[in-house]
Amino acid sequence: MRRIRKHLELYLMIAPALVYFALFSVYPLIQGFLTSFQEIGLLGNARWVGVENYRQVFTDFAFGQVVINTLWLGFGMVSLGVIVPLIIAVALHEVPFAPLRKLTQTITYTPHLFSWVVVGGIWIQLLSPDGGLVNELVKMAGGSPIHFLANTAWVRPIFILLATWKEMGYMAVIYYAAISSLDPTHFEAATVDGAGRWDKIRHITLPQLVPTTMIVLVLTIVSTLRMFDQVFILRNAATTRVVDVLMTYVYDLGMAQFELGQATAASFVVVVIGLALVTVLRRLMRIDAPSGA
């Protein structure tokens, strides 16, 4: 109590943030958890059903399929989403011509600023089998038009590539900031010792980027669990089976079928999966460990 009185001004300063967090994060989370054990009627009347909603979710074939789709897409997005921005950041750091470096940063970062509604519309036009730029190039090369977004063999790789293309500039900024903060004396000493550019990248830059890579990895994994906009905009009846993910499954249950109890139960399964992944990653990567521990 004495400590509270001593730092009363500080507690009063953070009080609005705590109230906001409690009203718009904690309370909805608790209310949603209770809803996951209820059957909600069309007019809002609720009936307690216990774990029945969770049982229906886990026994639903569609749920198993969206888990597989999420893992499939997530693995590709995480792999490219960590490696490609790293390559871009390292390459930019090695570019001696500043205007070219800034232009490249702007070009790669710009897609991140657009919503998936805009990005999806652009790529739907570019990949269209009727007059789309990509298919026009395919025809010029002697091939036949490809229905990229309606072909189950193409759609998953395209989703992965589009997600990587959209976010690689943002993640590259994180890497580039970390590279820029490295001690330049290490590079100077390596130059004096006769190390080449690739030697400095391999033995100085990359090892010191391991903590940043861990952070990017966690951010990318969490974003794949929250993946919705891209799939919702680019999916169609021909590809729903292979691209629907956990969040679109929750949306379809809640908004299309109005099974609010099951939808909330499925969303809490996603929350638990996300918490488990982040906890395991933090333990394995020792993100919170003191430097040198």
pTM summary value: 0.85
Same domain, 146 and 16: no
Mean pLDDT (the chain, rounded): 87
Does residue 15 sit in the same domain as residue 160? no
**In a shared domain, residues 15 and 114:** no
At 289 the pLDDT is 57
Any domain includes 51: no
Same domain, residue pair 12 and 142:
no
Point out the residues of the chain with pLDDT beneath 70.
1, 42-44, 286-293
Residue 77, domain member (yes or no): yes
The CATH number linked to 205 is 1.10.3720.10
**Nearest 5°: phi and psi at 197?**
-60, -45
The whole-angstrom separation of Cα 207 and Cα 58 is: 42
pLDDT score for 214: 87
Both 130 and 205 in one domain: the answer is yes
Assigned token pair, 80: 């490219």
Is 50 a member of any domain? no
The reply to whether 97 and 150 lie within a common domain is yes
Which residues lie closer than 8 Å to 40 by C-beta, 6 or more apart?
46, 260, 261
Q: Is 292 domain-assigned?
A: no
Number of domains comprising the chain: 2
Buried b (16+ CB within 10 A) or exposed e, 38-68: bbbeeeeeeeebeeebbebbeeeeebebbbe
Enclosing domain of residue 246: 61-285
Instruction: Give pLDDT, residue 199.
Output: 85
- In this prediction, residue 288 carries a pLDDT of 57
Assigned domain for 76 exists: yes
Residue 4 resides in a domain: yes
Q: Are residues 68 and 151 in the same domain?
A: yes
Is 41 inside a domain boundary? Answer: no
Q: Residues in the chain, how many?
A: 293
Q: Please check whether residue 102 is in contact with residue 214, taking contact to mean a CB–CB distance below 8 angstroms.
A: no
Looking at residue 248, its pLDDT comes to: 92
- According to the model, what pLDDT value does residue 165 have? 94
Predicted confidence at residue 275, as pLDDT, reads: 86
